[in-house]
Amino acid sequence: MCLAIPARVVELEDGDIAVVALEGVKKRISTVLLEDVAIGDYVLIHVGYALHKVSPEEAARTLQLMAEAGVLEEELAEIGESAA
């Protein structure tokens, strides 16, 4: 389905690259669209880019709603296919 999904930044690499983690899946993403991304931040990711920072509470609520709607598993599978 390819929705934007929140994930936590767990590593920063050279340039505008970060590694995010969600439900045990890690993925390298571009942070070129955001300023001041730090380890521990939650970001909305879509097609390999961090689009927006969100609070931990907003991230948790979004993931809960996605799970209730039955789309979280599909999104995690898509992330896992291109994982770091």
**Chain center to CA of 56:** 12
pLDDT tens by residue, 17-39: 999 998 888 999 999 999 999 99
- For the chain, give every domain's residue range: 5-81
Tokens of 7: 């994930």
8 A C-beta contact, residue 33 and residue 17: no
Question: Measuring CA to CA, which residue among 34, 44, 49 is closest to residue 66?
Answer: 44
Q: Global pTM?
A: 0.83
8 A C-beta contact, residue 41 and residue 12: no
5-81: CATH number: 2.30.30.140
Confidence of residue 13 (pLDDT cuts 50, 70, 90): very high
8 A C-beta contact, residue 42 and residue 55: yes
Tokens of 33: 């669209």
